[in-house]
């Protein structure tokens, strides 16, 4: 790293930013791409050095301030996100480090990068859209989840029109894309503020989208969507969502079908939702009628229904989970 610093020591923080600002838009030019990628890599490494220092060089606050101010004034963060597909592996990691380090920067009680990003919501459109690209999804997901840690940015993301794009990625992407998108979505919908209001305001569309995901041909999409819905409707703050979901007979029919899925894991996740339908003391007549009509079939099915006992690794957790499941099953059978 000291080699990189010495090579670029003539460049001020502002020079580094302006040079990158000039280089990044030209990365899709095939005739000069190789040299540009090398130059961009060196400049990104130098930016990271200014922000973090190395074993021989400590970061200088004044240099960091100059770098940050130039990044804001040139909108370099947006350009870095757009350029990720053209960069090599190490440079993508450097972009993530630069982005998240600036994001955590504070001056007193202020977070200048948070304030900057709040004024540039279009960057979140690029971050969300980039989930389609398997090559950069881990970098994008990491950056996005760091943004979510800040309430003002999480609010922009969750109420943005592109929030619904997550649901497209969950059913039409590679395994890495789907897993990362679910991780981000879960963090967004688990926030103590914003999430419950968003779910209440958008519960009809959300339930429809989740229903589609539960019917996915992808095992991971089906299982994760069931797990997410189960978690959300079990939280008291999401009462509006839970009430709307468990009172719709079409949702009950879907869950009853998934109870018979060939995968034990899918069956288990479906059971976690089914028991909420059964436990609801204020069932709508259509939901009640379905349960009554299928009473004997459900009893017969549940009496022989078991989940795979997880490995306890000597700690007894598998036995505890099995006992809990059996207790819940007895409750459901009694209610039916």
Torsion of CA 328, 331, 332, 336, to 10 degrees: 170
Distance of CA 78 to the CA centre of its chain: 20
Give me the chain's average pLDDT, please: 90
Q: What whole-number percentage of the chain has pLDDT above 70?
A: 94
Confidence of residue 317 (pLDDT cuts 50, 70, 90): low
Q: How far apart are CA 145 and CA 188, in angstroms?
A: 8
Least confident of 53-57, 80-84, 115-119: 53-57
Distance CA 181, CA 170 (A): 7
CB 283, CB 247: distance < 8 Å: yes
Examine the pLDDT at 272 and tell me if it is beyond 80. Answer: yes
Confidence label for 325 from pLDDT (cuts 50, 70 and 90): confident
- pLDDT recorded at residue 61: 93
pTM: 0.85
Does domain 1-112 fall into CATH 1.25.10.10? yes
Cα end-to-end span (Å), the chain: 67
185-194: string of b/e by CB count within 10 Å (b at 16+)? bebbbebeeb
3-state secondary structure of 88: coil
Least confident interval from 51-65, 69-83, 240-254: 51-65
Domain boundaries, the chain: 1-112
Q: In sequence order, what are the beta bridge partners of 107?
A: 110
Element spanning 92, H or E: helix 89-104
> Which tokens in the block code for residue 65?
């301030």
pLDDT at 278: 95
Contact 114, 120 (CB under 8 A): no
282 DSSP assignment? T
Structure tokens of 54? 């190395």
Q: How many CB atoms lie within 10 A of CB 204?
A: 11
List of residues 6+ apart from 31 with CB closer than 8 A: none
d(CA 139, CA 323): 41
Rounded Cα distance between 123 and 113, Å, is 12
What are the helix and strand counts (H, E) for the chain?
21, 0
pLDDT of 8 strictly over 50: no
CB atoms within 10 A of CB 312: 13
What are the residues whose beta carbons fall under 8 Å from the beta carbon of 37, sequence distance 6 or more?
Answer: 27, 86, 87, 88, 91
Q: Which residue, chain included where needed, has tokens 């395994």?
A: 175
* pLDDT tens digits, 170-219: 887 778 888 888 999 999 998 877 899 999 999 999 999 999 999 999 99
């Amino acid at each position: 790293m000291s080699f990189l610093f010495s090579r670029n020591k003539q460049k001020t923080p502002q020079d580094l930013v302006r040079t990158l600002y000039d280089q990044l838009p030209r990365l899709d030019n095939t005739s000069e791409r190789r040299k540009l990628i090398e130059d961009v890599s060196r400049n990104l490494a130098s930016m990271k050095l200014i922000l973090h220092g190395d074993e021989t060089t400590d970061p200088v606050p004044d240099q960091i301030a100059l770098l940050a101010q130039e990044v804001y004034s040139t909108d370099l963060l947006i350009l870095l996100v757009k350029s990720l597909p053209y960069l090599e592996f190490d440079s993508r990691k450097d972009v993530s480090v630069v982005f998240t380090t600036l994001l955590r920067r504070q001056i007193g009680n202020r977070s200048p990068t948070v304030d900057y990003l709040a004024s540039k919501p279009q960057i979140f459109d690029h971050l969300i859209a980039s989930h389609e690209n398997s090559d950069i999804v881990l970098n994008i997901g990491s950056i996005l989840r760091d943004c979510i840690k800040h309430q003002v940015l999480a609010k922009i993301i969750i109420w943005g029109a592109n929030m619904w794009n997550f649901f497209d990625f969950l059913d039409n992407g590679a395994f890495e894309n789907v897993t990362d998108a679910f991780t981000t979505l879960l963090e967004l919908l688990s926030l103590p503020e914003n999430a419950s209001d968003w779910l209440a305001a958008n519960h009809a569309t959300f339930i429809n989208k989740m229903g589609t995901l539960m019917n996915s041909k992808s095992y991971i999409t089906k299982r994760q969507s069931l797990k997410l819905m189960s978690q959300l409707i079990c939280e008291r703050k999401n009462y509006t969502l839970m009430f709307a979901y468990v009172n719709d007979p079409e949702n009950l029919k879907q869950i009853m079908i998934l109870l018979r899925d060939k995968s034990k894991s899918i069956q288990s996740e479906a059971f976690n939702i089914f028991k909420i339908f059964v436990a609801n003391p204020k069932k709508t007549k259509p939901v009640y009628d379905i349960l009554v009509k299928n009473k004997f079939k459900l009893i017969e099915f549940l009496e022989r229904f078991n989940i795979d006992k997880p490995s306890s690794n000597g700690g007894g957790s598998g036995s505890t989970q099995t006992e809990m499941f059996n207790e819940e099953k007895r409750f459901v059978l009694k209610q039916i």
